[in-house]
Chains A and B, each alone.
Chain A
């Protein structure tokens, strides 16, 4: 049995995400969130409720490690994340799925190349498994017709569904989604929820914001309330 590296412990015993006194700000919008303490247990669906969509977006970006906290600690899988160089976070980012309104595909590649990009980039990918999963997701979300084209040449809804497929193909442990109903539409929502259930059963965490009440009925989420620039209470398993 290998010895865990310093700062690491047995992953299964730890909550997936743990923020301690985290403060983050968006200098462009003059927004800041301060002293946030939150623990997201494995297998939990969490609905983020906020009066300000911009604050919720900032917290989601912080969870996705796209915006770096200027204070506090962020533990992912029990490991304290080093917010010093972006390269050190790439391995974490790889395991995070993130749907947000400005999510994009690389324009000078076809939709199919975008879906395969991550799998082909990493040497440790099980390509046959990836191909099988891709085929079933592409078929399920009705994006087969978009595959040979560049993202600009397909409709906005097809592009958004393709982004959903891309993020699900990562088989993420943390899945963040801002208004996922706007990505998949009502027609594909049940399939999306099915995929999220699979993720939760694997011990993953799903954090989302939504305007659609049906999502809450399906997933029975914990609620995380963001008020006055901080989280109003800490979630515990």
Chain B
């Protein structure tokens, strides 16, 4: 009624503003997605190329990243995995008695919790560190300094972090699963009437090749997501020191959120 009688009315203005907002937001989201996709593609292309120069520096940077992300995280992830594995099995044994504990361990730990908690640990420890470091390097012109020396930052900074973090996530995921299963095994042995090897036997029987492949795919994708999101936010930090914490916060939240979505997507594709 208002639309037909009063074309300049408040309702029409509201609709116009809302449509404008939705349109702008959609275009903005699409633009951001395309930029991220292009950046991801750019990083992935590095995997099939070799650096023209500076192979020693790139190698050193990769080893440093694997050390910082994987080796230094071990004292954190092993106790965490033991605790998570034990807690899961305690809860599930209350629910199901002593039956199917191995199957529960496979479903809960190897398929879902393992990759997610590994990703969470890497996000908390490394994604934040990488974003903060890259942001500082951007804001304080260190990346420009590297470029002015003819050094390609994509090789020395991005490639090294990509390979370091992705391989770290995969390795930490394997360690997490083994430690969590060990925790579950100890709990089963102490608190239930099952024999000491029963739990591990059930796990071995329940686990399939698909479980291993899917979990590794998840770990690889999580590594890619965490690296790309952290580097992207680091490189695009606006020239202000006050934007560094904002970038770190955005990168960690975005990394975790995208990992959750990918986790759900992969699980649906393979198990539904």
With contact pairs A93-B150, A122-B150 given, residues A104 and B57 touching in the complex (Cβ less than 8 Å): no
* Closest-CB distance, A168 to chain B (whole angstroms): 13
Contact with A along B197-223 (1 / 0, CB 8 A): 000000000000000000000000000
CB atoms of B150 and A118 under 8 A apart: yes
The docked-state distance in angstroms from the alpha carbon of A50 to that of B196 is 83
Tell me the total A-B contact number using a CB cutoff of 8 A: 63
Q: With A93-B147, A105-B145, A121-B53 given, name 13 new contacts (CB 8 A).
A: A64-B148, A66-B144, A90-B150, A90-B152, A105-B142, A107-B140, A108-B133, A117-B146, A118-B149, A121-B150, A122-B54, A122-B150, A170-B149
The docked-state distance in angstroms from the alpha carbon of A155 to that of B181 is 53
The segment from A16-24, A95-103, A126-134 found at the interface with B is A95-103
Interface check B56, CB cutoff 8 A: yes
CB neighbours (8 Å) of A13 from chain B are none
Contact with B along A65-103 (1 / 0, CB 8 A): 010000000000000000000110011011010100011
Interface check B136, CB cutoff 8 A: yes
CB neighbours (8 Å) of B152 from chain A are 87, 90
CB atoms of B151 and A28 under 8 A apart: no
The docked-state distance in angstroms from the alpha carbon of A120 to that of B154 is 17
CB atoms of A103 and B141 under 8 A apart: yes
With contact pairs A107-B140, A121-B57 given, residues A86 and B145 touching in the complex (Cβ less than 8 Å): no
Contact of A98 among B56, B137, B140, B148 (CB under 8 A): B148
Query: Which residue of chain B has its CB nearest to the CB of A108?
Result: B133
* Closest-CB distance, B39 to chain A (whole angstroms): 13
Interface check B239, CB cutoff 8 A: yes
* Closest-CB distance, B231 to chain A (whole angstroms): 15
CB atoms of A86 and B147 under 8 A apart: yes
The docked-state distance in angstroms from the alpha carbon of A96 to that of B144 is 13
Contact of B151 among A104, A121, A123 (CB under 8 A): A121
**Residue of A90, A91, A118, A123 with most chain B CB atoms under a 10 A cut-off:** A90
Interface check A106, CB cutoff 8 A: yes
Contact of A93 among B57, B148, B154 (CB under 8 A): B148
CB neighbours (8 Å) of A87 from chain B are 152, 154
The docked-state distance in angstroms from the alpha carbon of A106 to that of B146 is 8
Contact with A along B237-262 (1 / 0, CB 8 A): 00100000000000000000000000
CB neighbours (8 Å) of B54 from chain A are 120-122
Query: Which residue of chain A has its CB nearest to the CB of B136?
Result: A107
Q: Name B86-133 residues within 8 Å CB distance of A.
A: 133
Contact with A along B145-169 (1 / 0, CB 8 A): 1111111101000000000000000
CB neighbours (8 Å) of B53 from chain A are 121-123
CB neighbours (8 Å) of B149 from chain A are 93-94, 117-118, 121, 170
